[in-house]
Structure 1
Amino acid sequence: MNFPSILASHGTFGLNLNPFETNIINLAIVIFALYKFLPNFLGGILERRRAAILTDLTDAETRLGAASESLAQAQQGLAEAQKKAEQIRADGKARAQAIRLENEKRTIEEMARLKQGSAADLQSEAARVTNQLRREAARLAIEKALATLPGKLDADAQAQLLNQSIQNLGNA
Structure 2
Amino acid sequence: MNLNFNPLETNLVNLAIVIGVLFWFLRGFLGGILERRRSAILQDLQDAEARLKTASEELTKAQSELAAAQQKAEQIRIDGQKRAAAIRAEGEKRTISVMAAIKQGAAADADAEASRIKDALRREAAMAAIDKVLTDLPGRLDDAAQSRLIDSTIRNLENA
The reply to whether TM is greater than 0.5 is yes
Once residues 74 and 38 of structure 1 are traced to their aligned partners in structure 2, the CA distance between those partners, rounded to angstroms, is 52
Residues 1:120 and 1:43: Cα distance change in structure 2 (over 3 Å): same
Question: Structure 1: 5+ residue runs without aligned partners?
Answer: 1-16
For 2:93, give the aligned amino acid.
K
Q: Does 1:134 align with 2:125?
A: no
Find the residue that maps to 2:57 and give its secondary structure. Answer: helix
Deviations 1:2-58 (A, max 9, x none): xxxxxxxxxxxxxxx824643344323202112212332221111111111111122
The aligned counterpart of 2:65 is 77
Per the alignment, residue 6 of structure 1 pairs with none
Q: Separation in 1 of the partners of 2:37 and 2:154?
A: 139
1:39 aligns with 2:19: no
**1:73-152 to 2 correspondences below 5 Å:** 73-152=61-140
SS in 2 for 1:128: helix
What is the Cα deviation at residue 89 of structure 1?
Answer: 0.8
In the alignment of these two chains, the number of paired residues is 156
Q: Where in structure 2 are there 5+ consecutive unaligned residues?
A: none
> Alignment RMSD, CA only?
2.1
Identical amino acids, percent of aligned pairs: 62
Name the CA distance, whole Å, in 2 between partners of 1:171 and 1:91. 80
d(CA) in 2 for partners of 1:154, 1:82 = 106
CA distance in 1, matches of 2:156, 2:84: 70
TM-score by length of 2: 0.85
- Structure 1 residues 89, 168: closer, same or farther in 2, change over 3 A? farther
State the partner residue of 1:14.
none
- Report which of the two structures shows the higher radius of gyration computed on alpha carbons: 1
